[in-house]
């Protein structure tokens, strides 16, 4: 997943301030999410599937 894809999908779920809510939901430090967004680190492969589930079942956020 590219940084742009991550940002687009997470914004759709959590709004403009998506980084901290996503970090809390997946139990990682918000700095980790910021590194993914900046392209400094690659997000884990399971994150795309997890976002798929959140998009499919938004009440589970």
**pLDDT per position as a tens digit, 1-10:** 999 999 999 9
pLDDT digits (tens, 9 = 90+) for 12-35: 999 999 999 999 999 999 999 999
How much is the pTM?
Answer: 0.88
Domain hosting 16: range is 3-60
Residue with tokens 């779920």: 13
- Region for residue 44 given its phi and psi (left: phi exceeds 0; alpha: psi -120 to 50; beta: otherwise): beta
Question: From CA 2, how far away is CA 57, in angstroms rounded?
Answer: 23
The total number of structural domains in the chain stands at 1
pLDDT reading at 60 higher than 70: no
Nearest to 33 by CA among 48, 23, 24: 23
Closest to 22 measured CA to CA, from 46, 51, 2: 51
Confidence of residue 58 (pLDDT cuts 50, 70, 90): confident
Torsion on CA atoms 59, 54, 18, 4, rounded to nearest 10: -150
């Amino acid at each position: 997943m590219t940084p742009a894809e991550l940002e687009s999908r997470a914004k759709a779920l959590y709004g403009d301030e998506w980084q901290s809510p996503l970090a809390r939901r997946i139990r990682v430090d918000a700095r980790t999410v910021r590194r993914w967004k900046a392209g400094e680190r690659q997000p884990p492969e399971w994150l795309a599937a997890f976002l798929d589930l959140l998009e499919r079942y938004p009440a589970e956020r």
